[in-house]
């Protein structure tokens, strides 16, 4: 019924791009953040301005990663090194934390004005998982996970939530490290081999494979099926509802 192998007793879901239509909102917020910074950087250094690509750069450098990790990884791809700064740096300062805070402020404003939508197929699948008696966790690098879940009306669908706040408190490494998914499995009292990971991010699929989880489902919303398979997905679907139709 669920398109999963026998022996799977828990489902661990990424949030943005798997359950909610917020990956594009994140990508747009990153673009606003980086383009503003890169324009100033190009003028100051006399180098050409190359804008942030909300598809390629987002997929390769920021999707699925903790906010500061995404900032750092993207800037490294452009050969730019900034000081780390402090977690409470104001958005206008040029530090890793400041740029990350700038992105978060833009994201929250976009979520406030645009709302949060759940993929209908994901909602169907979530309810089927619950009816089948499997345990459920949401695993996201976002510190805004609880707010997004509430806005989407699906906060009660999960037994466990591992988000950016929990990761910081417990010093869990972000994706592509498997730490956050392993933490969710521990809280659900299941072995990794008994859990399925659902991810749309390349880094997230890598995390699922690195953690030796029983099944890794890649969700392709943007045309990266082959890349998801290369990173370790056991199967790639365009929508979770496709799993309900598998024989």
Domain range 10-22+117-244, its CATH number among 3.40.50.700, 3.20.20.70, 3.30.565.10, 3.40.50.1000 = 3.40.50.1000
**HSE on the CB side for 185, CA within 13 Å?**
20
Catalytic (active-site) positions: 14, 16
Q: What is the pTM of this model?
A: 0.80
Torsion of CA 114, 120, 126, 131, to 10 degrees: 140
CA distances for 153 relative to 108, 135, 150, 241, angstroms: 17, 19, 5, 19
Q: Delimit the domains of the chain by residue range.
A: 10-22+117-244, 24-114
- pLDDT tens for the chain, 247 residues long, are 799 999 999 999 999 899 998 888 889 999 999 999 999 999 999 999 999 999 999 989 998 888 999 999 999 999 999 999 999 999 889 999 999 999 999 988 888 888 788 999 999 999 999 999 999 999 998 888 998 898 888 999 999 999 999 999 999 999 999 999 999 999 999 999 999 999 999 999 999 999 999 999 999 998 999 999 999 999 999 999 999 977 5
């Amino acid at each position: 019924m669920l398109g999963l192998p026998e022996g799977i007793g828990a489902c661990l879901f990424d949030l943005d791009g798997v359950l909610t239509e917020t990956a594009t909102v994140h990508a747009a917020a990153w673009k606003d953040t980086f383009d503003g910074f890169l324009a100033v950087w190009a003028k100051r250094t006399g180098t050409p301005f190359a804008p942030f690509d909300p598809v390629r750069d987002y997929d390769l450098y920021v999707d699925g990663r903790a906010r500061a990790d995404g900032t750092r990884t993207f800037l490294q791809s452009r050969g730019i090194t900034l000081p780390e700064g402090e977690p409470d740096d104001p958005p206008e300062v040029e530090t890793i934390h400041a740029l990350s805070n700038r992105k978060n402020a833009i994201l929250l404003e976009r979520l406030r004005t645009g709302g949060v939508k759940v993929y209908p197929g994901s909602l169907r699948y979530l309810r089927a998982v619950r009816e089948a008696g499997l345990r459920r966790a949401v695993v996201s690098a976002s510190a805004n996970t609880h707010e997004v879940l509430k806005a989407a009306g699906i906060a009660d669908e999960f037994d466990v939530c591992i988000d950016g706040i929990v990761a910081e408190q417990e010093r869990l490494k972000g994706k592509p490290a498997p730490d956050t998914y392993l933490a969710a499995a521990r809280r659900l009292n299941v072995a990794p081999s008994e859990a399925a990971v659902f991810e749309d991010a390349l880094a997230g699929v890598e995390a699922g494979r690195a953690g030796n989880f029983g099944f890794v489902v890649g969700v392709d919303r943007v045309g990266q099926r082959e890349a998801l398979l290369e990173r370790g997905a056991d199967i790639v679907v365009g929508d979770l509802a496709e799993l309900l139709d598998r024989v």
